[in-house]
Every structure is written in C-alpha cells, then in structure tokens.
Structure 1
Amino acid sequence: MKTTNPISSSLAAIRGIYSAVMQQKKQAEQQRTEAVAITFLLDAKGRQCPLDIIGAVDLARHDLTGQHIKKALELSALIEAFKQEVFSDIEAFVEISNNEHGAKIGISEKDKKPWKGNIQLINYSSTQKINLRIQDRIAFTEKLNCAMQKLKGLIKDHSSDVDEVIKVLINETFEVDKTGYIDAKKVLELRRYKIKNPIWKSAMEDIADSIQVVGSKSYLQFWYRDTPEAEWISIPLDIARL
C-alpha cells in the first residue's frame, strides 16, 4: 500500500495555487485590454491594486494565507464548541451524581455549596481521563506596597537574618515588567519561605491581605493509555504542541 508523501501533496497544492494565480492575472490583463471592470486587491494602505500589476508570488502568498486562515478559523470554532460541550457535560454529570447518588463531587465540605474547582473524571478501566482545572486570576490592592516597603527595608538592614539569596529574590519580585506590572507568581512564591524575622512575617501578612480574586480561567486536559499500568499520554489540542 502506497503512502502519500505530505511534501509532494503540499507541492501539488502550491502549484495549483500558482496555476490559479496565473489564470487570475491573465483574466485581469484581458479585462484591462477590453476596458471592462478590473479586479482589484487592497494593499496594506487600503489602496486598490489591479491584479495584473501584482507579482505572481505576492498573489500566491495572498491566496495561500487566506486559504489556511479560513481553515484555522473553522477549526478554532470547532474546538471552542467542543470545549463548551465538555464543560456543559461535566457540569451536568456532577449535578446528576450529587442528586441521584449522594456524591459530593464539586461540593464544598465547609459550606455545602457548589464549588467551582478542579475535577478529574476517569473511565471504568482507568485508561482515559479528563481533568478540569480552575485557575483564579488575581490582582493586588495597595496593601502590596506596604509589604514591598517592609521587604525593601530588610534589604537595607545589614544586620537582618535574611540571607543574600532572599534579598536578590525580593529585588527581582518587585521589578515591573514592560507593561508596568509586577509578576503575581513571584509575589506569591515569597510566602513559601518560612523566615522568622517579624518584619518578614508582617510583610507576608500584608501580601495575603492584598490578594484579590478578579476572575478565573478553566482548563481542560485529556489523557489516555493502553493499559492501567502504562504511563498517561496527553492528547494535545494546542497546535504548537502537535
């Protein structure tokens, strides 16, 4: 059984585009000769350019880009619809499980209310699973500035019990990026360090008090494996990972 070479298929497709482009140019030249309505393309400045004066390579690039952007938009719409379908199905499954079987999937033990958190669904043979992760988007109130001033004071205090590595970490944490924002992940990582200095503890309390949840984002991950003993294999839906 012969297999199709993808490069050969692509070459054939590009030759087809070039053939169509040359036909377009011939028709455009004929239109100009016969003084009938001329076909134009808009350039980047919004100017109308007759097809017959545009190079074949430029026309081919234009058509090739248009074809694949159209397919990419259609594929993106399909993935978005699939994503919404999975979210809805998981939500419905959780509700049915809780109502019919007394399960506590997605239910907060503290207040007995629905909890929009992480959920993992695994099939009966343990060869397929879906992970739904909810990641909060956070921002900081002005109290973060209090924490920064306290930590900067520790850096200036040479008698401080905070070592040089932590001092460097503090400086890097409060550096703003090109958009003028501080990296929230770096700020939160400071709280992992259990330093007994009272100023450090006070600064960590200020950081905790400054955190505001401003939204959340949901992530779906799909996994499979041939047997329950095998390693899980991720199903990539990100085109960059394929």
Structure 2
Amino acid sequence: MNYQSEFKPADIDDGIITANGQDYMTDAKGSLVPLELIKPADKLEDQTVRSIMGYAIALSKQLGRFRGHTMTDLGELDSLLAEQYDLTKGGKKGNRTYSTVDGLFKVQVQVSDLIDFGPQLQIAKQLIDECLNEWSEASRPEIRAIITRAFNTEKEGQVNRADIFMLLRLDITDERWVRAMEALRDAMRVIGSKEYVRFYRRETVASGWEPVTIDLAKV
C-alpha cells in the first residue's frame, strides 16, 4: 500500500513566492530566484522533498500524541492500582513493566538518568594524560582510541558518555589511573531523568519477545 494513502500529510507550501506578477523561489542564501531559472531537476527534487516532509511531520506529530496518550493511560493505571489495591508498579528508579493476561504483549517504561560532568572531569583528563604519556608505546591502541573518543578533544567541554563509562570498566591498577577514575565518578551529576517506552509481543509464551519497532531507522 502506498504510504500516501494511509494518513493525511501536514500542510507544507510549495515554496513559490509571487511578487509583481513574477514567480520566485528562495535559495539557501535567502535570495529570490525567478522560477524559470531554476533547473527542472532541482524543482523535481524540491517537490519530492516537500511531499515526503509533509508525511514525516504528520507522522512525528502522531507519534508525539501516541506517546502522550500512552504515558497518560499508564499513569492512570498506576493511580488506580495504588488507590484500589495499594500496589505500586516498578522499582526505586521508576522502571516498570505492564503485561496482558495471556503474556503475549508487554509495555516497558525505563527511566534513565540524565548525566552531566563537573570540573573534576578536567582533573581526570590530566591524570589520564600523565598515564598515557608515560605508557606511550606500551599502551594498547584500543585504550588510546577510547580515551580520545571519550574526551572528544576537537570539541572543548564535550565528552562521549558511553566511552567515559567504558573507561570506568577498564581494569588498570596504576595509582594515577585509579585517582582519575575516582575523579570521573565525582564529576558525574544527575541533572534529571527521561522515560523511555518500549513495546514487545510474542506468538506464544514459549517464544522470545519481539520489539514492536517505532524507530524509522529500524523498521
């Protein structure tokens, strides 16, 4: 089925501006270009992108509404369970799972901490640099690569959180490295949290769970 028949796209104008009886389109620099001077291939590309974006924007809004309704429904269920049965879903962090009676469908809510890093991060970086400079040729290249990615030296103040956590898992006993890892842990600050909703289904209770994908890159 053609996706264009499945739902109504958002309204996107055709990009054509009429002034003094002449049709123009605005280029990327903000200049008005007479419509007849725009190459047919560029016009076709423009029309195709605008058509796709109309559906993409509509789908994004629809997903936003769906997430809002989902969290509202689960919140109302939590309140009802707490009020009528004195039962609270989830653990200390707020992670919780909801299932159907037949065990074939489930909805999971995962709460992840949003982490930022304080000034101790720079102390950790200095200690790690000392280790690297001394180890130099003896240090494994993969460790050097992780450290380079973690601190992202091309963009001051930015770090790769996944690689920072990987550094913390490395089993290195050098006293300066241990102090650096302590500084990294002290630098971590929880500045908030974000809830993620995931959906799963399976054919039978003996089958493995399959995610119901709501991610364009994985559909």
Band the TM-score falls in, shorter-chain normalisation: 0.7 to 0.9
SS in 1 for 2:217: helix
Deviation at 1:168, TM superposition (A): 3.8
Query: Aligned to 1:226, what secondary structure does the other structure show?
Result: coil
Q: Given the alignment, which residue of 112, 137, 149 partners 2:114?
A: 137
1:123 alignment partner in structure 2: 100
Give the letter for the 2:78 counterpart.
Answer: V
Q: What is the number of equivalent residue pairs in this alignment?
A: 199
Could you state the TM-score of these two structures normalised by the residue count of structure 2? 0.74
Query: What corresponds to 2:64 in structure 1?
Result: 80
Q: Against the structure 1 CA distance between its residues 100 and 62, is the aligned structure 2 distance closer, same or farther, given a 3 Å change threshold? A: same
Using structure 1 for the length normalisation, give the TM-score: 0.68
2:155 is the alignment partner of 1:179: yes
3-state SS of 1:240 partner: coil
Q: Secondary structure at the match of 1:239?
A: coil
Aligned-residue identity in percent: 22
**How far apart, in 2, do the equivalents of 1:168 and 1:59 lie?**
48
Q: Which has the larger radius of gyration?
A: 1
Matches within 5 A, 1:21-32: none
Q: Which has the higher helix share?
A: 1
Mapping of residues 98-109 of structure 1, within 5 Å: 98-106=82-90, 108=92
Partner of 2:25: 41
User: Equivalent residue for 1:208?
Assistant: 185
What is the RMSD of the two structures over their aligned residues, measured on CA atoms? 3.0
More strand as a share of residues: 2
- Aligned twin of 1:146: 123
Task: Work out which structure has the larger RCO, using CA pairs closer than 8 Å and 6 or more positions apart in sequence.
Answer: 2
> Is 2:217 aligned against 1:233?
no
Q: What is the CA distance between 1:227 and its match in structure 2?
A: 1.1
Q: 1:132 to 1:168 in 2, by over 3 A?
A: same
Distance 2:38 2:128 in 1: 62
Give the aligned partner of residue 62 of structure 1: 46
Task: Name the counterpart of 2:15.
Answer: none
Per-residue deviation, residues 40-96 of structure 1 (Å, max 9, x unmatched): 322333333443443433322222221221111111100111111112222222222
Question: 1:134-156: per-residue Cα shift (whole Å, max 9, x none)?
Answer: 22221211122333333444445
- One-letter amino acid of the counterpart of residue 179, structure 1: K
Q: State the alpha-carbon separation in 1 of the partners of residues 147 and 36 from structure 2.
A: 60
Contact 1:152 1:170 in 2 (8 A): no
1:188 to 165, 181, 203: 165
Counterpart of 1:97 in structure 2 is 81
Question: Per the alignment, in what secondary structure is the counterpart of residue 89 of structure 2?
Answer: coil
AA of the residue aligned to 1:97:
L
> What is the alpha-carbon distance in structure 1 between the residues aligned to residue 147 and residue 62 of structure 2?
45
The AA in structure 1 aligned to 2:26 is L
Distance 1:155 1:100, change over 3 A: same
Does residue 194 of structure 2 align to residue 217 of structure 1?
Answer: yes
Q: How far does residue 128 in structure 1 lie from its aligned partner after superposition? A: 0.8
Query: Is the contact between residue 25 and residue 34 of structure 2 (CA under 8 Å) also seen in structure 1?
Result: yes
Q: What is the rounded CA distance, in whole Å, between the counterparts of 2:150 and 2:32 in structure 1?
A: 51
Runs of 5+ unmatched residues, structure 1: 10-35, 109-114
Partner of 1:29: none
Question: In the TM superposition, what is the alpha-carbon distance from 1:205 to its structure 2 partner?
Answer: 2.6
* CA pair 89-175 structure 1, distance change in 2 beyond 3 A: same
SS at match of 1:80: helix
